[in-house]
Amino acid sequence: MKRDNIIKIVVSVLVILAAVYFAIFGLQIGDKQIIKSAKNIKTGLDISGGVTIVYQAKTDDGVTISEEDLKKSEAVIRKRLETKNIFDYIVRSDVSSSQISVEIPADINDQSKDPLSAVEGLDKTAKIEFRDPDGNVVLSGDDIKSAKLSEDPVDNTGMPTPHVVLTFSEEGQKKFAEATEKLVGQTLSIYLDTECITAPTVQSKIDSNTAIITMGDGTYSEMKAQAEEYAMLIDSGTLPFNLDVISKEYVGPYIGQQALQVSIMAGIVGFIVVCIIMIVLYRLPGFAASISLTAYVAIILLIMSTTGISLTLPGIAGLILSIGMAVDANVIIFERLKEELKAKNSVSKAFERSSKHAMPAIIDGNITTVTVAILLYIFGIGPVKGFGIVLAIGVIVSMFTAVIVTRFILKQFLPLAKKNTFLFGMRKEAK
């Protein structure tokens, strides 16, 4: 075995172990959390419980609120929650009382966090209007297709600047061009509900399907938080009526921390058993697969802690399923490798042919699973949507580790197999 191969294996293992360490313990320099740890992973309603907020819908003119308007409000609230990376939620409406209840996960045992901070902005009407100096509305929320946070520089300094990018509809672009043409040298104010969030002076006619909303003075983090809220409110749509909070209460977990601990323990035991079986059956390839599975676990923990997606028991099931997909991909490659060795191919040729011929089956299986996960995310709500996104992330990461990481490590072991194919799962040496 060449020295270069040994160095690559050692470096790979050290990098993966470092990733595992950071995934579990994180990285903090001074007061700044550079890399979040596994403790920062949010848990869902079924594990940690949460908070329930009941909103009372009302209109200024006393008009009766229809069931259609309540359903539209539910959809707006769901979109706002998902913009905040909250997928484990329950939103219900009651037509008879014109009330909407929202239940979201929250760590009620962590006194340093306000559980209600996650629902800030849900009750805002978010009615956006572009007004001329006389107060006339020249554009409204119906003319806006989307609103997204951007941090691209907007001046000559080249420094990241948090702002909101609005994308107009075709009709909205036409109205925007007409308004800016008439208002050259005057202000075009943008209002969100009753608040004027910016009032730039129009320099020239702007015939574009996009516009930006810059933030006021403040620190970078304050401006980014403000831009995120504006983008969330505008992009999710306008509520057809006002909402008043009439009650807030904490709810206990449906299943509890004990179920989480049992699930984690089952996952650890299953991971160890799978690694042992892979090593016994395939020897060095099984060892390479075990290293890549370790990398998979580290990457998943880092993604979950960074994105803030709530981990529910269905989500844990999705992760375990994706581990199975990773093992399945490795098994396909390894069995094909054994067949190529039995066919008297050289080790190098067998390695290349096994990867090439196994890839279509691996890609087909993973694409099918990811497609199902995407459909669950698009058409599902609450925990179903959360399960879909966790499953999609898990399958994509598992394919990366199974195909890229395993292949790289296994390639470094090839010199050993040239002398002893028993190390590659063969009962007898191929001649």
How many residues are listed for the chain in this entry? 431
C-alpha 325/C-alpha 323 separation (Å) is 5
Token pair recorded at residue 99:
């009330």
C-alpha 36/C-alpha 27 separation (Å) is 7
- Cβ atoms 282, 334 nearer than 8 A: yes
- Which is nearest to 43 in space by CA: 110, 82, 88, 84? 88
Structural domains in the chain, sorted by start: 3-39+256-424 (1.20.1640.10), 45-251 (3.30.1360.200)
Q: What is the pLDDT of residue 298?
A: 92
Q: What is the pLDDT of residue 112?
A: 47
Token pair recorded at residue 354:
């096994």
Q: What is the pLDDT of residue 347?
A: 76
Edge to edge, what strands does the sheet with 144-150 contain?
Answer: 144-150, 163-168, 210-214
Q: What is the pLDDT of residue 282?
A: 87
C-alpha 321/C-alpha 394 separation (Å) is 8
Q: If you write DSSP's letter for every residue of 356-420 in order, what string do you get?
A: HHHHHHHHHHHHHHHHHHHHHHHH--THHHHHHHHHHHHHHHHHHIIIIIHHHHHHHTHHHHHH-
Q: What is the pLDDT of residue 299?
A: 93
pTM for the predicted model, two decimal places: 0.69
Edge to edge, what strands does the sheet with 50-58 contain?
Answer: 90-94, 99-105, 50-58, 242-251
Beta strand 50-58 with 195-198 is unpaired
Q: What is the pLDDT of residue 428?
A: 54
Question: Three-state SS for 342?
Answer: helix
* 29 strand-pairing partners: 32
Q: How far is CA 394 from the centre of its chain?
A: 11
C-alpha 254/C-alpha 251 separation (Å) is 9
Mean pLDDT split into 10-residue runs, the chain, 431 residues: 83 92 87 82 79 85 79 86 80 89 71 60 82 90 88 75 90 92 91 85 88 82 85 83 84 69 82 89 88 92 85 81 83 85 79 83 87 88 81 89 87 74 61 43
